[in-house]
A = this chain, B = another copy of it.
Amino acid sequence: MEDTAAPVSAQEQVASPRRAPSQQRSRERVERMLAAASALIAEQGSDAMRMGEVAERAGVSIGSLYQFFPDKRAIVWALAERYTAESQACISAALAGVSDAEGLQSAFSELVDIYYRLFLAEPVMRDIWSGTQADKALRQLELADSRANAEFLTAVLKRLRPAVDPATLETTAFLVWQMGEAAMRLAISVERQEGDRLVAAYKRMALRELLAE
């Protein structure tokens, strides 16, 4: 909450640059804008989110919104960036100490559960990662995030299976991670019961792959 990386970082990769809020006042307003956007996304999805509505709910003018965000997607991007930063720390912590097969098994299993609960509970996160395929900038962010997360997994695998070609382990980790995200998206788009079964099946499949050979 303290620093809240300026939304400008998003624009560097997304659209024409905007000013970063430098004053206390504007920083608070940007927070309100993001909060309003978040609420609206939770209610109706990011596609139905209207810029005018975001401004109104944040108590600012439409012009102020565009002072800090170059376009609509940049707002979603800024929210997405926060989620990735948050979850990355959590994943790193969960996998850091793992050094044997049992450790990996329980750590990975728990990680999947946490992610699944997160997807079920956070409509905003769910919406954002769903739109990932359509929006190029979001897709890039997700890929970068996924690679970073996969690296933690790769590190564990390298310790567990030093004999295997590192490049192969990297590919495996990345694929397993991406499959996990896909499994989550699938799971939340079907009946809860079937979703649970699918996540459990993914867990088995992933662990079989991670611990194989």
B-contacting residues of A (Cβ < 8 Å)? 47, 130-134, 139, 143, 168, 171-172, 174-176, 178-179, 182-183, 185-186, 189-190, 194, 197-198, 201-202, 205, 208-209, 212
Contact = CB atoms under 8 A, between A and B. Distances in A.
Contacts of A176: 205
Given A131-B134, A205-B209, 11 more contacts: A130-B133, A130-B134, A133-B133, A168-B201, A171-B201, A175-B183, A175-B205, A178-B182, A205-B205, A208-B209, A208-B212
A198 B212 contact: no
B47 A189 contact: no
Contacts of A212: 208
A95 to B, nearest CB: 20
Given A134-B134, A208-B209, A209-B205, A198 B182 contact: no
Nearest to A202: B175
Nearest to A130: B133
